[in-house]
Amino acid sequence: MINDSLFYFRKPTDFLKFIEKLNIYNDWKIGKGTMNQRGESIRNKGYTNYLRNKFNSKKMFRKSVSVSEIVSWLDSFVIMKRVLDKLSYSIEKNEFNEIKLYCEYMIKMSKKMRVDFVIRYKNIILLVEFRMVNNYTKIKTTWNKKKVELLIYKELIENYIESDIKVLTFAFISLYEYDNKVLDKAHYDFNNNQVDFLVKYLIEFVIERQREID
């Protein structure tokens, strides 16, 4: 899976160090607007060029990555950092350090379909897809669509992954948190509640289930 991922992190702290080094927190927010609109402000940023060059060097698709897709990655990085920060306080340190992350994992024999994040803990993997929407009315339909995609990804991966590996799925639908530079606290709180839910899901269905196996 390592070679088929845009980024591989041997443990969560490697991802957190990557985010710090990427230096997106000075000016990046989960903001209102289309991905292309939001991407215009970062088109020539250093981290944008780095991510674009990394993607192109991996030859993961037939064309260069779009700025809208990079915007989507940055949003998912922000959310994943919150998830890992909270998870680190909720499980044993040795368990936390055994979690591996694969970003933009390309599924074999799938015409280059990619999963946003694969979280692996020993014999259990969780496929996570992210999507940001601009209002509450789009949450349910977007979640349904993402869940269907994830079930397809799960089926494809189960065609070749080891038979003793359990594959789970999670669709994370977020709302924009800033309108220009103004924080929308209701949206921010909604996203953090979703973060809490994903952390709870990881603990109950990944960490604790693996404890039973061990």
pLDDT in tens, 78-121: 999 999 999 999 999 999 999 999 999 999 988 889 999 999 99
User: Over 90: is that where the pLDDT of 180 sits?
Assistant: no
What pLDDT score does 41 carry? Answer: 85
What pLDDT score does 26 carry? Answer: 65
Asked if residue 175 lies in contact with residue 191, where contact means CB atoms within 8 angstroms, the answer is: yes
